[in-house]
Structure 1
Amino acid sequence: MLVSIHPKLPMRNRNKTEDYYVNSLGFEKVGTVDYPEYLMLQKDDIEIHFFLFKALNPKENYGQVYIRTNTIDSLYQSLLNDNVAIHPNGKLELKPWGQREFALLDPDSNLLTFGESFQ
């Protein structure tokens, strides 16, 4: 039985990635051991892992995660209130497939799309 998934995304700078996810998005570090080339972060019931990839070209990064939420309006508003940049093409809107979604890019251009079923 599969019970969860923890996507692994590339990062160029561990400190910048940790700062963005913790201070801008409200994630917390997972575990008590600090690995210089690996980072595990958690918020609510999701966990995202990051691996060091110093040579990553953000313009060529196709890392993406789709995160489901049941509080899309308050999440979106809280990010706006905290001046977190929303992807220029990712403003909150109802999609033809019945999801309300918005998206943002992390410091390494990993695309984070947040969605809630609207039906």
Structure 2
Amino acid sequence: MLTAINPKLPMRSKSATKAYYIDRLGFKNCGVVDYDGYLMIEKEGIEIHFFEFKELNPAENYGQVYIRTDNIDGLYQSLLDNNIPIHPNGKLETKPWGQKEFSLLDPDNNLLTFGQSLP
């Protein structure tokens, strides 16, 4: 009966969040109404929601999302080619749990980890 999961992450600035996800990562707005203090974006069937939290201290934000992909190498290279900073401790590598992963931090310190299962 469950059909999808859409994480909700905090954002201090809707314009900064849109600039990062839409202009830099290639997501699109979704939804038919532009709500004040709320943002919904999507890319290739992945949907993420953001709620405004102007007082958020990024150093105290532990928002995290794990996004699976079927082309981890291509995605990683496309981000490098577009000068998207990779998390300093999140370079592309094979993990002991059988995933190839890398991570990004958005402007509010939300951690985006991308992973692909190894055959």
Tell me the TM-score range normalised by the shorter chain. over 0.9
Q: Quote the residue 1:90 is aligned against.
A: 90
Q: What whole-Å deviation, never above 9, does each CA across 1:90-113 have from its counterpart, x for those lacking one? A: 000000000000000000000000
How much is the aligned-residue C-alpha RMSD, in angstroms?
A: 0.5
Structure 1: which 5+ runs fail to align? Answer: none
TM-score by length of 1: 0.98
Q: Percent identity?
A: 67
Amino acid at match of 2:13: N
Name the structure 2 match of 1:29.
29
- Which structure 2 residue ranges, 5 or more long, are not aligned? none
Establish whether residue 110 from structure 1 lines up as the match of residue 110 from structure 2: yes
Superposed CA deviations along residues 29-77 of structure 1, whole A, max 9, x for unmatched, are 0022111200000000110000000000000000000000001111000
Q: CA deviation at 1:3?
A: 0.8
1-side partners of 2:21 and 2:27: how far apart?
A: 5
Q: Where do 4+ consecutive residues of structure 1 move more than 3 Å?
A: none
Q: What secondary structure does 1:20 align onto?
A: helix
Return the TM-score normalized by structure 2: 0.98
Q: What number of residue pairs does the alignment pair up?
A: 119
